[in-house]
Chain A
Amino acid sequence: MTALVLDGVRKVYPSGDDEIVAVHTADLAVGDDEILALVGPSGSGKTTLLSIAGGLLAPTAGAVRVGSTDISGFNQKQLTGFRASSVGFVFQAVNLVPFLTARENLLVVAEMTGQPKGPARRRADQLLDELGLTHRTKNLPAQLSGGERQRVAIGRALMNEPGLVLFDEPTSALDTSLGEQVMGLIRDEVKGRGTAAVIVTHDTRMTEFADRTVSIIDGYLAA
C-alpha cells in the first residue's frame, strides 16, 4: 500500500499577465511506512508540493491520493475535515499557539474536532513523554527553547494519529546537532508508528534519516 500518490500534479500561480509554474507535472508515491526526504534549493517548489499533498492547496492539474482517499475533487469543507483526520503538519514558521502551554497545544487538536477529552489527554501525555518533554508540559512556547518548540510541534502533528506526516524544513531554525537530534526523534516517532512521512529540507546532511531522497529543482522532481 502507498500512503501518498501524486499523479501528474501540476501547480501554476498566476503572476500578472505571466504565470509561474511552481510544480511541473510531478508523479510521486510514498510507501506506507516510508520516510521520504524532499530536497531542493529555495523556491524550487517544495512547500507547494507539500501543501498539495496535505490538502491545503488544490493542484492546477493532476490527482492526489492519500491512503485510500482521492482528495482531488474535495471542496474546502471536505479538505478541512481531511486535514484534521488524516494528515499531520509541521510548518516552516508558525506551529504553536502562543497562549497555550505545550500540553494544551496538543489537546487543542482533539478539542477542535470534538474528540473525547480522556483519550486525548492520555495521548498527549504519552507523546510529550516520548518527546522528552514531561518537565515542559506546562510551559508556554515563549518559555521553551527552539528545539523544545520543534518537539512540541512534532507531538502536535502526531496528535490526530495521521497516516501521513508532512514536515516543512523542520530543522532550518536549529543548529546542526540540535537539528540531527530532532531528525532522530522524527524518525523514531514515525517509524515507531509505522506512519509515512515527507520531510522537506534544503540541508542534504539531514537526508540520512530518510529511507529515500527525492530532489526537486525549479519544480521538476528527480529521483
Chain B
Amino acid sequence: MLLALREVIRAKARFALLSGAVGLLVFLIVFQQALFGGLITSFIGAVENQDAPILVFNDQARSNVEGSFLLPAQAEAISRVDGVADSRLIGQNTFTVATASAPEDAVLFGYTLGELGEPRTLRDGRLPLGPNEAVASAADADKGFDIGDTIEILGDDGPTVTIVGLGEDLRWSVAPTLFVSYETFEAAQAAVNPDATVVLPSLVAVRPADGVDIDTLTDTIDAQVDGVEALTNAEAVAQNPGVQGVSSSITIILALAFVVVILVVGFFFLILTVQKAKPLTLLRAIGSPSSYLVRNLIVQIAVVMTAGIVIGVGSALLVAAVSPTGDVPIEVEVGSVITTVVALFVLAMIGGAVSIRRVLRIDPIRATADSGRTL
C-alpha cells in the first residue's frame, strides 16, 4: 500500500489532525458510556448485585421496586410454583436516617440473612449475622456508612443498625443503601408507620430448582400466580424506570457523536479525494484498476480510525483511572468498548463511501487534458 501510506507520511499534519479529531470523538463516546455505566450501577447496583436470579414484582408496579408490594397469599403461591427451589421475602424502602454527621435519606433492603437476596460483592468486613447489622455500599463509606458506624432509622422507636461490611456497587437510586435482616426492615417500616398492622414485602426472591431454565420459570410464575410479574435479575435492571429514562437520553447523545464521526471522516476524505483528483486520474489513465485506488483509500481510513481509536480509548482509560471515585463511579466496560470500536470502523467506511464513489467515477481520459502546466 505504497500510495496510501506514503501520502499519510508526506501529509502527517493533516492526518494527525483528523486522527486527533476522531480520537476526541471516540474519547467522548467511550467516556460517556463509562459514565453512563457508572450511573446505571448507582441506580440499580443493589438489585444487580444481590444473589437472587429471579425477582417477583407486583404486576401493577411496572418493574418499579418502590411501587411493588406482595400479599402473603401471593408469596405463598410463588413458593409452591413448580420449579421454584427457594423463595424469600425482600423488603425495600427509603428512610430518613441519622448518621454520625447528619440526617440523610438511605435505602434499606431487608432479606432473610444467609438466604436469597444477599449482596454478592462484599469487599470488607462481613455479611450481617443478626438483626441491627448492615452491609453498606463502599461508595458511601466516607459519608458515615463505614464499618463500625451506627445508623439510626428515624421514627417511632426506629431500629439502630451497625455497619459490619462494605460491598462494591450496592447503591440504589444513587442513595446510600443498607442490606439488613428482614426483621430489621419490618422494624423500620413499623417505626415510620406505627398504625400499620402488617408490613408487606416489596418483592419475592426466587431460586430455580436445578436444571430449571430461569426464563421458563418466570413465565410459569406469571402464569400460575395472579397479579405478579417475575423478572430475571437482568430484566429487573434493564426495565427499571430510572435506567430506561437515562438510557434514552444517552442513546441520543451517543447517536449524535456517531453521526459526527461519519461526517468528519466523510468530509475529510472527500476533500482529500477531490484535491488529488489529478494524480488519481493519471493512475487510472496509465492502467491502474479502480480497485487499487479504492483499496488505498480504505487503508487510509483504517489507519486514521485505528490512530483515533487508540488516542480516544487510551485517554478515556487514563481519565477513568485518575478520576476520583466520586458519587458516580466511571466504569469502562470492555464489551461496550469493543462494540463501539467495530461500529466506528463500519461508520467510517460509510462516511468514506462518497469518496469511494468518486474514485470509481474517475474518467481516465481526463489525464490527457492540457490544462495547467504542473507535472
Contact = CB atoms under 8 A, between A and B. Distances in A.
Interface of A: 47, 50-51, 56-57, 77, 80-85, 87, 89, 91-101, 104, 107-109, 111-113, 140-141, 146, 149-150, 153, 156-157, 160, 168-169, 173
B375 A160 contact: no
Nearest to B1: A111
A92 B288 contact: no
A216 to B, nearest CB: 15
Contact of B279 (A47, A51, A94, A153): A94
Most chain B CB within 10 A, of A50, A85, A89, A140, is at A89
B82 interface: no
B284 interface: yes
B325 interface: no
B287 A160 contact: yes
A140 to B, nearest CB: 7
Contact of B6 (A81, A83, A95, A100): A100
22 contacts: A57-B368, A80-B288, A81-B289, A83-B285, A84-B286, A89-B286, A91-B368, A92-B368, A93-B367, A93-B371, A94-B279, A94-B281, A95-B282, A95-B375, A97-B3, A98-B276, A99-B11, A108-B283, A109-B286, A111-B292, A149-B375, A160-B287
A118 to B, nearest CB: 14
A50 B286 CA distance: 13
Given A89-B286, A113-B287, A140 B365 contact: no
Contacts of A140: 10
Interface string B342-375: 0000000000000000000000110111111111
Given A93-B374, A94-B374, A95-B282, A80 B369 contact: no
B124 interface: no
Q: Closest 7 interchain pairs by CB?
A: A84-B287, A83-B287, A112-B288, A92-B370, A149-B375, A97-B279, A99-B10
B278 interface: yes
B368 A96 contact: no
Interface string B292-322: 1000000000000000000000000000000
B2 interface: yes
B3 A50 contact: no
Contacts of A77: 289
A56 B367 contact: yes
B360 to A, nearest CB: 11
Given A57-B368, A80-B364, 19 more contacts: A56-B367, A57-B365, A77-B289, A87-B287, A89-B367, A92-B368, A93-B369, A93-B375, A94-B374, A96-B282, A98-B279, A99-B7, A99-B11, A99-B279, A100-B2, A107-B2, A109-B286, A168-B368, A173-B373
A130 to B, nearest CB: 19
A49 to B, nearest CB: 11
B282 A97 contact: yes
Interface in B28-54: none
A104 B296 CA distance: 15
Contact of B278 (A94, A104, A150): A94
Contacts, number: 113
A169 B370 CA distance: 10
Contact of A80 (B278, B279, B287): B287
Contacts of A94: 278-279, 281-282, 367, 372, 374-375
Contacts of A89: 285-286, 367
Contact of B364 (A56, A85, A153): A56
Interface in B257-289: 276, 278-279, 281-289
Contacts of B370: 47, 92-93, 168-169
Given A51-B365, A91-B368, A95-B282, A108 B374 contact: no
A98 B275 CA distance: 11
Contacts of A107: 2
Given A94-B374, A99-B7, A100-B2, A83 B369 contact: no
B368 A56 contact: yes
A111 B289 CA distance: 11
A142 B365 CA distance: 24
A80 B362 CA distance: 12
A92 B7 CA distance: 24
Contacts of B292: 111-113
A127 to B, nearest CB: 15
Contacts of B283: 97, 108, 112
A146 B368 contact: no
Contacts of A82: 287
Nearest to B11: A99
A84 to B, nearest CB: 3
A13 to B, nearest CB: 11
Contacts of A169: 370
B288 A84 contact: yes
Contact of A56 (B279, B365, B373): B365
A107 B292 CA distance: 14
Contacts of A57: 365, 368
Contacts of A173: 373, 375
A160 B365 CA distance: 20
Contact of A108 (B3, B11, B372, B373): B3
